[in-house]
Structure 1
């Protein structure tokens, strides 16, 4: 039998030149820098963030620059349509409502109400952005409540486990079994409708979702080797919770907080729509929708404008939360 003899080039690919081949060294990128890069690569999330920033800036600046106050009443200017300079020359937003132009009837040729006026003659441009400011305030208060109550509750429950976790979870189950609307109605028995009442209602039940997410993340992380190493070295519970566990689940907490913002905005709008929202003359997007809905067939712009802004806000926050989830989740990273 002939002896097989292998040559040097027997195991090389045919027609392949490796003379210029070299190893590529990939630079190590910090987690946060990589997350920011992946977030800004998501065009829809960037657009959503831009819309949110624009709406927040307008909600802060517009009421300050307007010559009208949000509660200033002009009975002679009731239900005037939107009138915008420049666009009226194109036949758009001329101020006419059902063929009647009160701007011409009252001789207000140089006066403009960009969103029109309501049934009491109040400027809707100021009221809508004032309402947006209040709705956003409620939303960000809900985030603070989530972080202060829900996150800490979930951290303690998940970390200690055992009897502590069992008792704390039974408390959560009891609270979550009571509908939010029932809690709010009970609050209104002893308190008048106000921003404080809504905030208290959020404080009672709004943190439950955050506590459950935080607890689930803690249960997954607390068995890792680095936590065991900290315990072995004699680290205290406070150090382990806030220095070892919390930084490893903080991205999930941020994502959950972003999802809680549109939920809080919708919750406030729902309460206002059923008549349990802010008292007049205060305005929020929910109260404006509720007020405009009563005359939607005659003056639909009173309802459409706050509905559009509410829809943009909720959709933008949801897209932003999706973008943050994709950026912070290593499993979503394209290799």
Structure 2
């Protein structure tokens, strides 16, 4: 083979045909492209959007409010055993041994009309559909700590006009009137969980925005000025950081008083130290760059340099930190509400719902499951999104 043919130059037209055109992407477009490829981050992003929409729209379209009480329908689970007593009538036998009329598909109609009650004989007589219905729970033993559940075979009896109802035909159905059941005061847990999402998300978002504002200003000034001012400002941060943040929040809540506004203010005043450290570190690494030196040479003021040049170039880590601070604020609010320093009754937050359910956890565990699952889903969603943003906004991972 001729060696000259191996080094033959190709024409410009052939060279252009070989090139694959690729549109140029900005930093944020490239970050969004990488974020979309992260399945867990997108799951968290969609979950957050759904939580926000349900929290806003759910209570608006509901027929009942978070504070509406129906004491007769207290402690009804989200799934119960429906008993067919004939003639198209169905009842649910409550754990407190009262008959509640329900439909075949699980809708709550209300407590049956009570005619008389024999507490000594442990019998209650109702009137349902023009017939006398007796709930006999005299054979039910009270469970003791040392009892073996397998040995408890006695069950209540239902008699319609003196004739026993076959309880083997009972069927488990979902509660169509109260999706997550009711609490000890007959309030709809589903609506209260949605209303609690409003409070928790509001606290998380507003407190994080306050942290962002204070942290950017404080950290930006400390990092740009440097020297003695930086040392003094950072020693103040070290003092605040040396005391457990939760302890300071609790002390402020005790002094100022519980309430939603107090929670937002106290969390916002304490949780900014990590953001200030982050912003200071970013500003220290950026302030010696050429574009900052050029701005100084042109006579741009310090405020404009910090706000228009340094902070925008550090937005990647700041956004990640902001996303991670939201679940921390939500969890802090839930904990404060759980120990009684949160919102006041009858307002509901996930922490107060968990606190209310703690006393009846053995009898009605579903009341604790609902707020616990809501908190867990929200925590996972924000953490998945935060991890995805950290990977997407890291310039070293650009491809």
Q: Same fold (TM over 0.5)?
A: yes
Q: SS at the partner of 1:275?
A: coil
Match of 2:227 among 150, 155, 162: 162
Q: Tell me if structure 2 keeps the 8 A contact 1:77–1:102.
A: no
Residue matched to 1:244: 309
Q: Tell me if structure 2 keeps the 8 A contact 1:180–1:201.
A: no
Distance 1:103 1:306, change over 3 A: farther
Matches within 5 A, 1:50-129: 50-82=46-78, 100=94, 105-109=99-103, 110-111=107-108, 112-129=177-194
The structure 1 segments of at least 4 consecutive aligned residues displaced by more than 6 Å after TM superposition are 18-21, 101-104
Q: Normalization by structure 2: what TM-score? A: 0.73
TM-superposed CA distance for 1:201, in Å, is 1.6
Matches within 5 A, 1:155-234: 155-234=220-299
Residue matched to 1:278: 343
RMSD: 2.6
For residues 166 and 58 of structure 1, the distance between their equivalents in structure 2, rounded to whole angstroms, comes to 47
- Higher share of residues assigned strand: 2
Q: Normalization by structure 1: what TM-score? A: 0.86
Number of residues of Structure 1 aligned to a counterpart in Structure 2: 313
Unaligned runs of 5+ in 2: 9-13, 83-90, 109-176
1:112-131 Cα deviation digits (max 9, x unpaired):
10111001111111101000
Q: Tell me if structure 2 keeps the 8 A contact 1:155–1:215.
A: yes
For residues 234 and 9 of structure 1, the distance between their equivalents in structure 2, rounded to whole angstroms, comes to 60
Q: SS at the partner of 2:41?
A: helix
Q: Tell me if structure 2 keeps the 8 A contact 1:145–1:206.
A: no
TM-superposed CA distance for 1:168, in Å, is 0.8
Residue matched to 1:295: 360
For residues 234 and 282 of structure 1, the distance between their equivalents in structure 2, rounded to whole angstroms, comes to 54
Unaligned runs of 5+ in 1: 1-5, 13-17, 89-95
1:281-305 Cα deviation digits (max 9, x unpaired):
1111111112112211111110111
Q: SS at the partner of 1:278?
A: coil
Query: Which range is displaced more, 191-200 or 281-290?
Result: 191-200
For residues 179 and 205 of structure 2, the distance between their equivalents in structure 1, rounded to whole angstroms, comes to 28
- Higher share of residues assigned helix: 1
Distance 1:63 1:83, change over 3 A: farther
Residue matched to 2:155: none
Residue matched to 2:133: none
For residues 292 and 38 of structure 1, the distance between their equivalents in structure 2, rounded to whole angstroms, comes to 42
For residues 65 and 122 of structure 1, the distance between their equivalents in structure 2, rounded to whole angstroms, comes to 16
Residue matched to 2:144: none
For residues 188 and 262 of structure 1, the distance between their equivalents in structure 2, rounded to whole angstroms, comes to 20
Q: Tell me if structure 2 keeps the 8 A contact 1:155–1:214.
A: yes
1:275-329 Cα deviation digits (max 9, x unpaired):
3222221111111112112211111110111111111111000110111112111
Q: Tell me if structure 1 keeps the 8 A contact 2:193–2:350.
A: yes
Q: Tell me if structure 1 keeps the 8 A contact 2:253–2:266.
A: no
- 2:40 is the counterpart of 1:38: no
For residues 133 and 104 of structure 1, the distance between their equivalents in structure 2, rounded to whole angstroms, comes to 35
Distance 1:290 1:47, change over 3 A: same
